[in-house]
């Protein structure tokens, strides 16, 4: 798959992510490039319902909310940034029912050599050693 050039000509939006205790100033087009949720959150209808155009994800504690910041780090090729986000992902317990969703997002937005991809593969391998729960994950992975 050929990489597409990113368009940085759009406005910045503040993305508050409590899971990493940070606020990111992110270009709208970059922010919505790989997340259906964020695409919807940036639509006029949603933006009009908020007092500011910013997106507050501080009430979302799940690991799934850390994936877009990680993918953003992949896109801007910032290794230190990616490492910080990946360390946070590794520090969280990912419920078995969420592993496939996290893996699908990571595989959809990261490079083949991504450490996050290796982490997901290790998680599934760990599940396979512990029992049959890995089947639940495998059935839900994008093919």
In a domain? residue 5: no
Q: Does 1 fall in a domain?
A: no
Residues 6+ apart with CB under 8 A from 21: none
Is the per-residue pLDDT at 100 higher than 80? yes
Q: Does 125 map to a domain?
A: yes
The total domain count for the chain is: 1
- Identify whether 42 is part of a domain: yes
Is residue 4 in a domain?
A: no
**pTM of the full predicted structure?**
0.57
Domain residue limits at 126: 12-140
pLDDT of 30 strictly over 80: no
């Amino acid at each position: 798959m050929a990489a597409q050039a990113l368009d940085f000509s759009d406005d910045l939006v503040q993305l508050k992510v409590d899971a990493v205790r940070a606020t990111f100033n992110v270009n709208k087009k970059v922010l919505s490039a790989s997340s259906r949720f964020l695409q919807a959150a940036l639509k006029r209808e949603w933006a009009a319902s908020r007092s500011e155009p910013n997106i507050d994800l501080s009430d979302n504690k799940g690991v799934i909310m850390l994936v877009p910041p990680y993918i953003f780090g992949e896109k801007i090729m910032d290794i230190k940034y990616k490492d910080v986000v990946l360390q946070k992902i590794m520090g969280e317990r990912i419920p078995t029912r969420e592993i496939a969703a996290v893996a699908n997002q990571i595989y959809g937005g990261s490079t083949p050599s991504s450490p996050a991809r290796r982490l997901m593969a290790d998680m599934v391998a760990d599940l396979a050693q512990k029992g049959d729960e890995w089947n639940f994950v495998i059935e839900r992975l994008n093919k």
